[in-house]
Structure 1
């Protein structure tokens, strides 16, 4: 496989470490897309840490240079901005594009542009389950209509640092579970781009961005990142709760998100997809 990763932060490096330890054979090529000016530094680090992960390794900073490496699959694990910068061009080239920053699709124009590019080029925009489960069942219930979905994201106060939660709470002094946001999944994903990708995933699988309700909570007693949601449908009713451990070095990201991306890769490399 010729794999490309957009980003070289916590998610990307953790993913590469997992690939390095689980894959029997190296990739044909690994391309890492960095921000401009950091290519040499990232290339040096990547070669030092992941020297045996691929037959060849390249670091680029533009969409044009990314596509020139002829990737079979591109994974975005950087930011909403990265989705906007690279997504349409990658899909238009006929290459499948996997999103970690699913909340970027709260921008209705971007969502439409990405889907149209995929349709025209017969590529696929792939949305992994990330830190939540039951997405297969939720998506299966969607055609029946009349879905009601309510999501609650609960994280320790320090996981909300650097977000709009700081304007509403003194995160250092929160003593009890505190709801600081209630609204639609679109509003949550737009206002909290690093923290509300699960809300976006549920919205896209189910009732839609503006029909899915979201609640965000700071809880000093939360051991990790907790995602829970309830579904009411003419076909089924269920509630699901997942208590995730945060990714090492980034309290905002659940480590299961990285494993979800790994699954997208191994399902394409291996003889069995599940």
Structure 2
């Protein structure tokens, strides 16, 4: 039985915890929850207690948690499944996580997919352009650092507002709660400095929409995803928690692989 420890029991972690406790992933069980705020019957008070009860630790608590605990989890010999992939836009953190010796490092694909065809295309020849346009409910993209006019348009406007257009590395820094799919795409393809990101707030949107485009010598690609937003956090796609569960199923009992 795969023992699963969980860092963070918020919008994503609480769903993962509930589903694991109900037997959603064959061969896996929730054995520890490490969260400084949220209470849980399996709550532990420190990282050492979490590690002693886990074969794999799921990080679902945001960038700060990955900075604080990620390397230590791997160095303890425990496998690490990362949800807050946007934190890897920090080159130093990415290097330390990759170079840590011990447990294996897994990256959750989250709310988008299609990486198999894009990686195959990269083997055929270089991808010249990779971009992602993410459209979310307007209120989910409002940030205190934005100009008052932009915040007003997001709060009261009737038209979509493009709040960011630039490289993935910058998008991950400005929108840490919303840029995990951007980071995943960057790591799977041409890197954080070459993937172009557009973030759009739409007052009419009730779902989270991501459109990935790529072009290169192998061909032109357009992948579209429209996900229901998490009821607890509109900045997160509800399906992300189930992507974590799917990953745990693969880690615990590898299925027939689609190669």
Q: Same fold (TM over 0.5)?
A: yes
The residue number in structure 2 matching 1:137 is: 117
How far does the alpha carbon of each residue in 1:197-229 deviate from its partner, in whole angstroms, 9 at most, with x for none?
Answer: 111110000000001100100111222111111
Q: Distance in 1 between matches of 2:220 and 2:45?
A: 47
- TM-score with structure 2 length normalisation? 0.89
State whether structure 2 residue 85 is matched by structure 1 residue 102. Answer: yes
The gaps in structure 2 that reach 5 residues or longer are: none
Give secondary structure in 2 for the equivalent of 1:74.
strand
Deviation at 1:158, TM superposition (A): 1.6
Gaps of 5+ in 1: 48-56
Q: So what's the TM-score if we normalise by structure 1?
A: 0.85
Name the counterpart of 1:68. Answer: 52
Matched with 1:34 is 35
Alpha-carbon distance, 1:29 to partner: 5.4
String of CA shifts for 1:148-169, please: whole Å, max 9, x gaps: 1011110011212456457533
Whole-Å separation in 2 of the counterparts to 1:83 and 1:232 = 32
Write 1 or 2 for the structure with the bigger share of helix: 1
Please provide the CA RMSD for this pair: 2.1
1:241 pairs with 2:220: no
Change (3 A) 1:200 1:31: same
After superposing the two structures, state which structure 1 stretch, 74-83 or 234-243, moved more: 234-243
- Aligned residue in 1 for 2:175: 192
Q: Residue 146 of structure 1 aligns with which residue?
A: 127
Greater relative contact order, per chain length (Cα 8 Å cut-off, separation 6+): 2
Give the direction of change, closer, same or farther, for the CA distance of 1:217–1:28 in structure 2 (3 Å limit).
Answer: closer
CA distance 1:166–1:253, change in 2 (3 Å): farther
1:43-71 superposed Cα distances (whole Å, 9 cap, x missing partner):
xxx22xxxxxxxxx34233x3332233x2
Counterpart pick for 2:44 among 34, 42, 59: 59
8 Å Cα contact 2:21-2:29 kept in structure 1: no
